[in-house]
Structure 1
Amino acid sequence: MTDVIQMRGVAKSYQNFQLDHIDLTLPAGEIMGLVGVNGAGKSTTLRILMGLIAPDSGSVNVLGHSLPEQQVEAKRDVGFASEDMRLYKHKNLAWHMNFVQSFFPSWDNRYAQHLAQKFGLPLDQNLKGFSHGQRVKAALLLLLARRPGLLILDEPTTGLDPVARSEVLEELAEVLENENRSVLFSSHNTHDVEQLSDSITFLHDGRVLASEDIESFLEKWRCVRCKGDIDPQALQSSNLAEFRRSGSLINLKLDNYNDSTAAWLQSKGLEVVEVLRMTLEEIFIANVKRGRAQ
C-alpha cells in the first residue's frame, strides 16, 4: 500500500518548544487521528505537512512530493482546514464557492449544494453574520467539495456546540465511509477520533508516544485492580503505565496485557480482583502520564 504521508526524523525548534524527530506514516485510504493536549505539537506537525513551515531537519513526503520544495504539486490534491482559517466576512457563501471553484477543476457543485443544505448554510448571507459553528461548516464545505484525495484537518470540531459538532462528524464519517480518501486530523477529543479513525498517534511534548490502529490499543490495554501490599518498584516493566493505590485496592494500568499477565501479578504476591477494558481517553491519559515520567 502506498503511503500518502511520510515523515522521517522531522524536528523543529522554537524558543519554548521542540518537535523532537517525528516519524509518522499514513497509508493510502486510511484515517489517522493525531491526539494530544494543547501544546503537544499537533498544529506544528500539520503545518510542516502543508509546507507552511519548514522543518529544521528530517524529510517530509506528501502524495509522493518532497516538502517544502514540491508543496505546490502536493497541494493540488490536499485539502487543509484549521481552526484559525479566515473567510471573507463581507462576502457570502455563494461567492466563496465560485471563488474556490475557479481554482480547482475537481470542484463538485452538486455536492457543495448538498452540504450547504445539510449544514443549514444560507448561500446569500455575508459570512460576518454566520455563527462560529456556521463558519466552521462553511470552511469544511469549501474543502470537501473540492474532492481532494488527502484531507488534513487541524481540530475540525473545536468550539462547536454539540449539535454542530454532531453534524460535522456525521458528514465527515459519511464522506470517509463512501469514498477512498486518506485523512489525518488532529484533536484533543478522543471521542471524535474513535468515531472516525482507523489508527491513532499520541503526541505529547513534541514526541510521538505511541502509534497504532485503534483496535489494537483497545485490545491490549487493561486496568487491573488488585489486593496486596507491594512496592511499586517490584512491578516496574515496560508494560506498567500507572500505579495507584485506592483504599485497599491497587489500580494498575497496563500496556500489552495478555493471558499470562494475571499469573505474573500473582507471582508478585498480588490478588487480581478485576480486569477492566479501558476507553481510548483513559489510554491517552495513561500514555501522557507515562511520557511525563520518562
Structure 2
Amino acid sequence: MNDITQTSSPTLPTFVKIVEVGPRDGLQNEVIPISAQDKVSLITQLADAGVSYIESGSFVSPKWVPQMATSTEVFQTLTRKPSVTYAALTPNMKGFEAAMAAGADEVAIFAAASESFSQKNINCSIEESITRFEPILAAAKNANIKVRGYVSCVVGCPYEGNISPDAVALVAQTLYNKGCYEVSLGDTIGVGTPASVTKMLQAVSARVPMAKLAVHFHDTYGQALTNIYAALQLGINVVDSAIAGLGGCPYAKGASGNVATEDVVYLLNGLGIESNIDFNKLLSAGWFISDKLGKAPISKVSNAYLAKAQ
C-alpha cells in the first residue's frame, strides 16, 4: 500500500484551479428562465465560496440562446471581488464588443475538433471558425484582454464517432499560436474514458504545453471523474466544471450535464489537492440554483449531503 502511494502521489498537482462554467455553459440550455438577479446571486455565492474564475455569461443572439439574453445586466449588476475573474463567451466581434461594454474581465472563443460538429453548431468549417475569431484575438490583444480557447468533441463526436487525437492537437495548437493563453479540451458528449483521454492529452501536449491546457468533461457515461483523475496524473491542473452538474449540449443528443463542481472538489479534497474552495458554501450555491430550476442537483455528492441532512 505504501509503495502505491509513493509511486502515484508525485504525479498529482498540489493545487487545481476550478473554472466554473455553470452560470453560462450550465444554464444556457435550461428551459426555465433564470432572472439576472438570480444569476448574480449564484455568481456571488460561487465567488464567496472561493471560486476564482467564473464564466458569468455569453454575448450571443438571444434568438439562439434566450437564457443568455440578460448577460449585459448580469455583468453590470455584479459586485465584483478583485480576486475573481468574471469571463464571457464571445462567438463573434459583435459579442466581444458587447462583453467589453459590459465589463467582462476575460473572453472565451470556441472551435471544434470535428468538422461535422463545427458545421452543425456554427455552420462553418473548423478553419473558417478560427478565421472568424482572428479579429477578436487582435482586438483583445490591443485592449490587454486575455482570451481563453475551447475545443469541443476532443474524443468523440455525435456525427463522426471517434475523433483522432492528432486532429484535436492541431486545433488546440492553432488556437494557442493565435493568442489563446489557455485551451480547454472538451469531451462534449461525455464518451471519453481514461485511455482515450490519455491518448488525446499526450497528442495535444506534444504541441501545446501541458501548463496551458485545461479539461472540460461531461458525465454522460459516468466517466467524468475518472477522466479528470487521469488528466491530473498527466499534469493537468485546470478543470472546468458546473455547479450542480448543470448543462448539456443542444447538438449532442443524450449528452448530460457538465461534471458537477461539488463532485470535483470532493475528489480533490479526498486526494489532498488544494482548490481554495469552501465546500459547504459550494454545496449551498448548488442547492440555491437547483431550487430556482425546480429540480434536484445532478451532483451525486450534493444529493448525498442533502440525504444526510434530512
Shorter-chain TM-score tier:
0.3 to 0.5
Question: Per residue, is there more strand in 1 or in 2?
Answer: 1
- Give the structure-1-normalised TM-score: 0.40
- The structure that has the greater radius of gyration is 1
- Give the structure-2-normalised TM-score: 0.38
Question: Per residue, is there more helix in 1 or in 2?
Answer: 2
